[in-house]
Amino acid sequence: MHGTAACPRLSVFRSAKHFSAQLIDDDAGRTLAAVSDKGIQAESPTAAAQQLGVLMASQAKNIKVDCVVFDRGAYAYHGRVKAFADGARSGGLIF
């Protein structure tokens, strides 16, 4: 997977307790935006991941990014990873 300035890579990180994501421009080698669940209040980790997806979509809109390449790494596409992707899509990001 490779992200550019026009279509950056949306990379996610999931641990047992936390979740974070970054928009990365691989051509320039820099992070354009990042979010983490630190300070997010939700009833479940899945709900927090969905809120993070919406937050990431709003940050992407602020830097005029609509299209991304979703990089889930080695994580299966279910649970928090799927909730994050659904939140980002509902926020307006196109995968």
User: 95: closest CA among 47, 59, 53, 55?
Assistant: 53
* Domains, the chain: 9-90 (3.30.420.100)
pLDDT digits (tens, 9 = 90+) for 9-49: 999 999 999 999 999 998 888 999 999 999 888 899 999 99
Judge whether residue 85 has pLDDT over 90: yes
Q: Is residue 34 within 8 Å of 21, Cβ to Cβ?
A: yes
Instruction: Name the pTM for this structure.
Output: 0.91
User: 75: closest CA among 16, 24, 2, 29?
Assistant: 16
